[in-house]
Amino acid sequence: MFKKYIVVLGLLSTALFAGVSLEHKIGQMLMVGFHGVSASKNSQICMDIRTYNLGAVILFDYNPVDKSKPKNISDKSQLKKLTSQLQACSSDGKLLIAVDQEGGRVQRLKSKYGFYGKFPKASDVIKMDQSKIKATYTKMSKELKSVGINYNLAPVVDLDINMKNHVIHGLGRSYGKDPKVVAKYASTFIDAMHHYGVLTSLKHFPGHGSSVGDTHKGYVDVTKMWKEVELEPYRLLKDKADTVMVAHVFNRKLDSKYPATLSAKTINGLLRSKLGYKGVVITDDLQMGAISKKYGLKNTLKLAINAGDDILLIGNQLDPRKVVTTKKLVDTIMILVREGRVNKKSIENSYRRVQKLKKKL
């Protein structure tokens, strides 16, 4: 009887998804950044959410075009209004609205905008007792929830194994060298977020802690320094993680041709098949130097989808001259499907995983 029930459920979900156009399934795979502190019905971002069934947006405070003005975040009431406007544009009211709110240097909700803004970095969190850590992260998730943020691109589970690493070690973004300890603190972080209905993302797979360079700026090869132990937090948290963010690091031991974000061997092979992770995979920003300097947009999208990435992040944050529209992204992927260069099945699988993730909201 139970087997019969599962089969019927499977058929129902297939029928349900069958009514969704390919264009709309592609839209659900996209997370884009945009300029604006409001999103009226006639704004470009609202029209994109409606027209293309856009799955996610990412918000930033720093404005790379005009430093004297905020990009998306100016104060509490403005942000709360913006997120409710964005949700009103979406057909399911489950638009993923993301920020990077780790603590330390990486927190978008700053005190100068009226937020708490003093959440500690991971390397300071580990000096606190467990109840204080829980209270800290509960306060963080409550604040995110209060302004309509439902997706936090954190916690960092990179191991602190390279003292010359500026991006992770230098900024104190790691909980330490021991994967079990890292997984424990990350687990506390995730529990606090879940308590207020905020989704999370483990980052940066398959490990950024051993690197020296910064993938924001360019190509980073971790082949000589990377250790297999860096995979351990992902294995320990694979059933708890809402999403996993993949880094742009190049590792010859895992793939001699492509960086992790664009590597089927790393995502579908290592993360999904070997480690057994079943959830959503999100890319780090595909406009970061490590990718944009080496691969064109069309090639990047082709490789990322075929590698098994479910959410493609285009932050429109790093270079004001290279803002990519949602229309361009959807049109390019549609062309890739028509040309037979992107597997339609990959899009179907990603759509299913994203819908399953949204059910948690």
What are the residue numbers of the active site?
216, 284
φ, ψ dihedrals at 186, nearest 5°: -60, -35
- Alpha helices (H) along the chain: 2-18, 22-27, 44-52, 76-89, 122-125, 130-146, 179-195, 232-237, 289-292, 297-307, 326-338, 344-358
d(CA 130, CA 279): 28
- Evaluate whether 97 touches 83 at the Cβ level (below 8 Å): yes
**Residue 145, C-beta contacts closer than 8 angstroms, at least 6 positions apart:** 196, 197, 198
Q: Using the 8-state DSSP alphabet, how is residue 285 labeled? A: P
Rounded alpha-carbon distances, angstroms, from residue 269 to 131, 200, 306, 308, 313: 38, 23, 12, 9, 21
Is the Cβ–Cβ distance between 186 and 202 less than 8 Å?
A: yes
- Give the DSSP letter of residue 218: S
**Cβ proximity of 294 and 248 under 8 Å:** no
